[in-house]
């Protein structure tokens, strides 16, 4: 009999520190779906901020650490498209560890794609009777191809939508600009503060004009940015990571 | 001015920046609709990309073939290794023809070479004949967009400008009226010019012909009335076969503005009887870029401008914020190849959202090259450090935001300190955004308590 | 060393993986070519006329300066071709035949054999192009198949009247070239 696959839960550093409830929801959700999940202790930043700032070569240490922590698992799952993309595409040269790196890169998945592509979840039983706006993170969308981007002339698909619209009562909102960037962009949020905030305001306004109850997404970095603006503006919209919605709904 | 500073300035006029964003987004929308009317669109992008890959791997052979055919067709071919030589070649031709006034249609290459100021210094009148280019020329500005040179201006600005330069009625902002005034003004220039300069959209190795595409018809008005046509062409504009145009003409205008084809696509092969065509082939850094494995395919660019229209940064910061001849995403991967120090902030003027790569009709991996330029620029930190804004150099590189997040320290700091004293990066974050509420414990702590045996 | 040699040598000196030139599939356009062509021309802000409509239209105008290079419509010409294209400045109407049209985008092909002066379709105030329905091809691939290896000093696709949107993206017809385009479809 085939051994039950063992999933290593990868929780990005800022999720660990600021959004533990999302990490818990991810863990509980996977467990509810019958997965054997472990969270290897001692996780650090995957190195993405440094790499995107132009210092990929300095992420050797964090990458080797990552490999060491996760090599034993059958799958690695994270509630973040952005960090998964970094591991998949932007590990630095790791002399002597190339095979391990490729192994890691093949078995790492963002949460929603793990649900739709590996677990083949089709009929989630649950309810979430709210109007939901979904923010596609660019790294998830155009990096991991979690949905068809609006630029391409290919058949439409959206893995998050596929999951969410299964839930009873959930009203999926089509935005005016379906997948424009929110302006977070890592260090961009600081180095290009004015632009970053303007992009965030514009993205938020699109959701608000469609009167969403909940603004969700697969990347907390985008949601942190959008929520930060919404709070400063005194907007009442609720922010939830997609893992929280799914975990709550299929209770 | 660094990109962040220029962008901040641009955003200060909210009504204008919003108009800029929405107008360019509308063009991106048209491009989407137009591309989706072609079932084989993605196949065409693949073909265009493959044809250009083939060109880059055989550029020397195609250039020689192109030159041989062009010479056979009676075209005079010149080679310029840089902007200076290009300008000198053009000047020499003008001097031979005793020409003191020329008309010029849109050519990003001549912008790149700063041909206009060079010729003007020699006492030659240069008239840009594309309407948008004429407008910015009156204002002594460069184009802010490679397809829509005056997209940063409003009709009230143009009305005031034309009132001053062309004596149009004060306050008349009607675009049709203003365009007609420019038509009459430029008609005089067309009729008077002995030499006309154009850019080149495509050069065909197989036939030695070259294409110039416009909607206004200004390139043709110029060259067919002049005795001498000077066409300035970057060496990367070569394509192998005439039939390759079938691919490129289907994607160029659709990507640029959403229209199915430009209203005029002119194929120049031989001069008309009694006239001359000079073709100037220009390197100016292109062979250097070709030698950079990670960046060479930026040379596949066909200058459609789609990456500008889709770029959420470009739309909200305007073309001038880049300070480079070619602005926007493609400019941010081309310009550091010309001068890494001067353009060191451009690859950082991006969230790496990847929309540019997905609209690109020749499938240049623009956002991946932006990432790669960041890796290069930081290697030369000492040399280019001064070009980087201090914010970039000291604030972030030494202490990336998320590195601060990664210790439990930050959680405690946020909890215990008022916002105003939280140090620099977070301070910037907090100007217009709240920080997340610090939770009681991290996930790791929770996991240890709840799941770890 | 000449700049030519310098440029070519530096290209030759670069290690390059040879990437093959792809074949271009024979893409076809679904649908009625005439209907598609008509809607393409209209979208490009041109107008489609039948022979009768054209005759009515031209009768309604009061043009004094007309040049016709079309055998079928030669009688409308009010003047002969001047030697110098500059003398075409006051031309009100040019009537030209085209070789073929492209249904997908409305582009029509002319070369030196239709153009006694290359400036003609640009300098005229109004332009009429004569096209026979049987000379429609579906898309640009077929267009270049049709042109084949024809050798003309100048060739041109015209798809609409001269236009610009350089002032606030407001479309204006008649920037420098012809202010209107009419296609007489025979």
pLDDT (tens digit, 9 = 90+) per residue, B326-371? 999 999 999 999 999 999 999 999 999 999 999 999 999 999 999 9
Confidence at A216, pLDDT banded by 50, 70, 90:
very high
The tokens of A192 are what? 């290009």
Output the pLDDT for position B424.
58
CA dihedral sign of residues B438, B439, B444, B448: positive
- Cβ–Cβ of A142/B312 closer than 8 Å? no
Output the pLDDT for position B393.
37
Q: Would an 8 Å CB–CB cutoff place C123 in contact with chain B?
A: yes
CA distance A149 to A180: 10
Is residue C67 domain-resident? yes
Output the pLDDT for position A187.
87
Q: Would an 8 Å CB–CB cutoff place C150 in contact with chain B?
A: no
Is residue C16 domain-resident? no
CA dihedral sign of residues A113, A115, A120, A125: negative
CA distance B40 to B46: 10
Output the pLDDT for position B402.
42
Output the pLDDT for position B419.
44
Asked whether B326 and B146 are in contact (CB, 8 A), the reply is yes
Output the pLDDT for position B2.
86
- Cβ–Cβ of B246/C144 closer than 8 Å? yes
Output the pLDDT for position B453.
60
Q: Give chain A positions within 8 Å (CB) of B313.
A: 192, 195, 199
Q: Is C128 exposed, middle or buried (0-12, 13-18, 19+ CB in 10 A)?
A: buried
Output the pLDDT for position B426.
63
Q: Tell me how crowded residue B181 is: count the other CB atoms within 10 A of its CB.
A: 19
CATH of domain A6-118: 3.40.50
Bridge partners of B405?
A: none
Is residue C1 domain-resident? no
CATH of the domain at C32: 3.40.50.10420
Residues A143-174 have pLDDT tens digits of 999 999 999 999 999 999 999 999 999 999 99
Is residue C57 domain-resident? yes
Among candidates B32, B6, B31, which has minimal Cα distance to B17?
Answer: B6
Q: Given B80, B235, B263, which is nearest C158 (Cβ)?
A: B263
Say how far residue B310 (Cα) sits from the centre of its chain.
13
Rounded to 5°, angle at Cα B228 from B226 and B233: 115
Q: Give chain B positions within 8 Å (CB) of C149.
A: 207, 242
Task: Please report, for chain A, the start and end positions of each structural domain, with discontinuous segments joined by +.
Answer: 6-118, 131-249
- Cβ–Cβ of A16/B444 closer than 8 Å? yes
Q: Nearest C-alpha of chain B: how many angstroms from C47?
A: 14
CA distance B248 to B239: 10
Output the pLDDT for position B382.
55
Any chains having at least 3 CB pairs less than 8 A from chain A are B
Beta strands at C172-173 and B228-234: parallel, antiparallel or unpaired: unpaired
Among candidates C73, C66, C114, which has minimal Cα distance to C94?
Answer: C66
Q: Would an 8 Å CB–CB cutoff place C21 in contact with chain B?
A: yes
To which residue do tokens 């089709």 refer?
A: A122
Provide the number of structural domains found in chain C: 1
Q: Nearest C-alpha of chain B: how many angstroms from A199?
A: 7
CA distance B332 to B309: 14
To which residue do tokens 């055998």 refer?
A: C71
Output the pLDDT for position B416.
46
CATH of domain A131-249: 3.40.50
Q: What is the DSSP letter of A139?
A: I
Chain B residue with Cα closest to A48 = B402
- Cβ–Cβ of B155/C170 closer than 8 Å? yes
Average pLDDT over every residue of A39-65: 90
A6-118 against A131-249: fold identical = yes
Output the pLDDT for position C35.
97
Asked whether B309 and B27 are in contact (CB, 8 A), the reply is yes
Residue-averaged pLDDT of chain A: 95
Chain C residue with Cα closest to B44 = C24
Bridge partners of B78?
A: B280
Chain C residue with Cα closest to B178 = C167
CA distance B249 to B261: 7
With left for phi above 0 and alpha for psi between -120 and 50, is residue C45 left, alpha or beta? left
CA distance A28 to B87: 68
- Cβ–Cβ of C168/B281 closer than 8 Å? no
Q: Which domains does chain B have, with CATH numbers?
A: 3-9+305-396 (no CATH), 38-287 (3.40.50.10420), 403-450 (no CATH)
Asked whether B210 and B117 are in contact (CB, 8 A), the reply is no
Beta strands at C108-111 and C154-158: parallel, antiparallel or unpaired: antiparallel
Chain B residue with Cα closest to C140 = B246
Residues in chain B where the model's pLDDT stays below 50: 383-410, 412-423
Rounded to 5°, angle at Cα B85 from B82 and B91: 140
Output the pLDDT for position B427.
77
Q: What are phi and psi of B234, to 5 degrees?
A: -70, 145
- Cβ–Cβ of B4/A197 closer than 8 Å? no
Residues in chain B: 453
Is residue C4 domain-resident? no
Query: 392-411 in B: which are within 8 Å (CB) of C?
Result: none
Alpha-carbon distances of C126 from B216, C93, C98, C164, C181, rounded to whole Å: 14, 5, 16, 16, 6
The tokens of B112 are what? 């790149």
The predicted complex's ipTM stands at 0.97
Indicate whether A74 pLDDT > 90: yes
Q: Would an 8 Å CB–CB cutoff place A192 in contact with chain B?
A: yes
- What number of C-beta contacts closer than 8 Å exist between A and B? 210
| DSSP assignments along B267-299, one per residue | EE-SPPTT-EEEEEEE-TTHHHHHT-TTTGGGG
Average pLDDT over every residue of C88-111: 97
Q: Give chain B positions within 8 Å (CB) of C160.
A: 263
Asked whether C147 and C155 are in contact (CB, 8 A), the reply is yes
Domain that holds residue C120: 24-185
Beta strands at B125-128 and B101-104: parallel, antiparallel or unpaired: parallel
Indicate whether A1 pLDDT > 90: no
Average pLDDT over every residue of A2-13: 89
Helices (DSSP H) in B171-243: which residue ranges?
175-192, 218-225
Chain B residue with Cα closest to A197 = B432
Average pLDDT over every residue of A65-69: 94
CA dihedral sign of residues C156, C161, C166, C168: negative
Is residue C66 domain-resident? yes
Chain C residue with Cα closest to B153 = C168
Q: Is C144 exposed, middle or buried (0-12, 13-18, 19+ CB in 10 A)?
A: buried
Rounded to 5°, angle at Cα B353 from B350 and B359: 105
Q: Give chain B positions within 8 Å (CB) of A50.
A: 400, 403
Q: Nearest C-alpha of chain B: how many angstroms from C81?
A: 15
- Cβ–Cβ of C7/B283 closer than 8 Å? yes
CA dihedral sign of residues A127, A128, A134, A140: negative
Asked whether B288 and B351 are in contact (CB, 8 A), the reply is no
CA distance B19 to B315: 9
């Amino acid at each position: 009999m085939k051994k039950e696959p063992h999933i290593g839960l990868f929780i990005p550093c800022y999720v660990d520190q600021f959004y533990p409830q999302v990490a818990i929801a991810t863990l509980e959700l996977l467990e509810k779906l019958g997965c054997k999940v472990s969270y290897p202790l001692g996780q650090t930043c995957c190195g993405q901020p440094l790499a995107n700032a132009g210092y990929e070569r300095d992420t050797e240490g964090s990458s080797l650490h990552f490999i060491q922590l996760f090599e034993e698992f059958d799958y690695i799952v994270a509630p973040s498209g952005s960090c998964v993309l970094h591991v998949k595409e932007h590990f630095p040269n790791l002399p002597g560890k190339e095979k391990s790196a490729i192994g890691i890169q093949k078995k790492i998945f963002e949460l929603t794609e793990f649900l739709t592509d590996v677990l083949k979840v089709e009929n989630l039983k649950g309810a979430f009777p709210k109007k939901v706006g979904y923010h596609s993170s660019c790294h998830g969308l155009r990096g991991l191809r979690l949905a068809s981007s609006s630029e391409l002339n290919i058949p439409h698909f959206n893995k998050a939508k596929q999951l969410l619209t299964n839930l009873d009562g959930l009203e999926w909102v089509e935005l005016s600009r379906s997948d424009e960037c929110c302006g977070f962009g890592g260090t961009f949020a600081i180095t290009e503060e004015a632009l970053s905030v303007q992009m965030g305001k514009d993205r938020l306004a699109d959701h608000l004009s469609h009167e969403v109850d909940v603004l969700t997404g697969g990347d907390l970095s985008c949601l942190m940015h959008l929520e930060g603006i919404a709070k400063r503006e005194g907007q009442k919209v609720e922010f939830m990571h997609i893992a929280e919605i799914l975990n709550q709904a299929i209770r | 001015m660094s990109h962040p500073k220029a962008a901040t300035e641009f955003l200060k006029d909210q009504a204008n920046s919003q108009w800029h964003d929405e107008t360019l987004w509308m063009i991106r929308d048209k491009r989407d609709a137009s591309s989706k009317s072609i079932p084989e669109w993605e196949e065409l992008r693949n073909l265009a990309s493959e044809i250009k890959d083939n060109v880059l791997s055989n550029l020397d052979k195609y250039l020689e073939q192109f030159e041989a055919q062009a010479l056979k067709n009676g075209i005079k071919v010149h080679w310029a290794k840089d902007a200076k030589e290009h300008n000198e070649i053009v000047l020499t031709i003008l001097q031979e023809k005793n020409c003191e006034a020329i008309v010029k249609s849109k050519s990003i290459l001549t912008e790149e070479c700063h041909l206009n100021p060079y010729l003007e210094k020699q006492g030659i009148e240069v008239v840009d004949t594309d309407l948008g280019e004429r407008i910015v020329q009156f204002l002594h500005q460069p184009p802010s967009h490679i397809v829509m040179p005056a997209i940063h201006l409003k009709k009230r600005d143009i009305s005031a400008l034309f009132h001053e330069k062309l004596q149009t009625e004060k306050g008349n902002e009607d675009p049709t009226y203003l365009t007609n005034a420019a038509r009459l003004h430029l008609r005089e220039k067309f009729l008077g010019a002995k030499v006309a300069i154009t850019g080149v959209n495509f050069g065909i190795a197989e036939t030695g012909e070259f294409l110039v595409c416009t909607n206004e018809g200004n390139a043709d008005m110029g060259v067919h009335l002049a005795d001498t046509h000077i066409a300035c062409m970057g060496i990367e504009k070569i394509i192998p076969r005439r039939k390759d145009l079938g691919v490129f003409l289907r994607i160029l205008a659709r990507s640029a503005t959403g229209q199915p084809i430009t209203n005029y696509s002119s194929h120049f092969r031989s001069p008309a009887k009694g006239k001359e065509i000079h073709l100037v082939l220009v390197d100016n850094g292109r062979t250097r870029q070709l030698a950079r494995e990670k960046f060479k395919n930026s040379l596949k660019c066909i200058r459609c401008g789609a990456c500008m229209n889709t770029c959420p940064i470009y739309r909200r910061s305007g073309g001038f914020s880049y300070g480079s001849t070619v602005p926007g995403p493609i400019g941010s991967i081309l310009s550091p190849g010309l001068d890494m120090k001067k353009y060191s902030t451009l690859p950082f003027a991006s969230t790496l959202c990847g929309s540019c790569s997905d609209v690109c009709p020749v499938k240049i991996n623009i956002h991946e090259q932006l990432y790669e330029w960041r890796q290069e620029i930081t290697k030369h930190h000492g040399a280019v450090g001064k070009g980087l804004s201090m914010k970039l150099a000291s604030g972030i590189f030494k202490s990336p935001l998320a590195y601060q997040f990664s210790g439990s320290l930050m959680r405690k700091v946020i909890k215990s300190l008022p916002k105003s004293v939280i140090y620099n990066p977070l301070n910037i974050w907090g100007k217009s955004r709240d920080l997340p509420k610090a939770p009681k414990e991290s996930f790791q702590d929770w996991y240890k308590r709840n799941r770890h045996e | 060393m000449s700049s030519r040699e310098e440029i070519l040598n530096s290209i030759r000196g670069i290690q390059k993986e040879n990437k093959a030139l792809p074949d271009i599939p024979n893409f076809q356009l679904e649908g009625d070519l005439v209907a598609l062509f008509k809607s393409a021309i209209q979208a490009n802000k041109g107008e489609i006329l039948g022979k009768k409509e054209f005759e009515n239209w031209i009768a309604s105008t009061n043009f004094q300066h007309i040049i016709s290079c079309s055998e079928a419509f030669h009688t409308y010409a009010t003047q002969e071709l001047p030697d110098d294209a500059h003398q075409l400045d006051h031309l009100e109407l040019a009537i030209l035949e085209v070789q073929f049209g492209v249904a997908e985008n409305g582009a029509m092909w002319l070369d030196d054999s239709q153009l006694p002066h290359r400036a003609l379709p640009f300098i005229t105030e109004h332009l009429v192009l004569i096209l026979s329905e049987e000379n429609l091809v579906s898309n640009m691939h077929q267009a270049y198949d049709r042109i084949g290896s024809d050798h003309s000093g100048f060739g041109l696709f015209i798809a609409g009247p001269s236009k610009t949107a350089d002032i606030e993206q407001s479309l204006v017809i008649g920037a420098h070239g012809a202010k209107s385009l009419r296609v007489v479809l025979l």
